[in-house]
Amino acid sequence: MPVYVYAILAVGWILWLLPFPLSGWNWSAPAKRDNRSRWGLLLQVVAYSLLWQGHFWMRSPALWQVALAILCFLFASLLSWTSTRALGKHLRFDAALSHDHQLVRSGPYGILRHPIYTSMLCILLGTGVLITPPLLFLIALIVFLLGTEIRVRAEDGLLASRFGDEFFRYRQTVSAYIPFLR
């Protein structure tokens, strides 16, 4: 694999990851948590690891793959930076609510209920298009989407239990993590 592909991967992942440790992640004990979301996270991690299983070091992506990957990485980074900023102190690793939790609808949350998951999907797509054989990429994508659905349902359940009709109205007008779907 050409050196520039490694550079694109490294820069893409670092730019995407950087806002999370800089955001002041909330590690305090939540008022309510749904641990089922951890199973979704496990599936997402498995999906990411599948991307790296197909002799990636021997691949030389076409120009269109490089361009598409860069676009995916840029969009993922944009979403991770704007989402962590919009969430502020409500950013958590788990599906959980704090005692003073608010329903965030500003920034990317006005367009998607779970834009961080969209950014994670973009990272998966950008990485996969560069280094993963098509069949393995498809399997990784399916595993990732299953994990994401578990996490979305857990978080939506918590938000519905806290915010009731306000969340139901929000859910009816704003897609979960893929624009124009559900």
* pLDDT tens column, 91-140: 877 787 777 888 889 999 999 999 999 999 999 999 999 999 999 999 99
Q: What is the pLDDT of residues 51-103, one digit of tens each?
A: 999 887 788 899 999 999 999 999 999 999 999 999 887 787 778 777 788 88
What pTM, to 2 d.p., does this model score?
Answer: 0.91
Q: Quote the CA–CA distance of 154 and 89 in Å, as a whole number.
A: 19
What CA–CA distance (Å, rounded) separates 56 from 52? 6
The string of pLDDT tens digits covering residues 154-169 is 999 999 999 999 999 9
pLDDT in tens, 6-48: 999 999 999 999 999 887 766 666 667 788 899 999 999 999 9
- CATH no., domain 3-25+42-173: 1.20.120.1630
DSSP labels for 107-165? GGGGTBS-HHHHHHHHHHHHHHHHH--HHHHHHHHHHHHHHHHHHHHHHHHHHHHHHTH
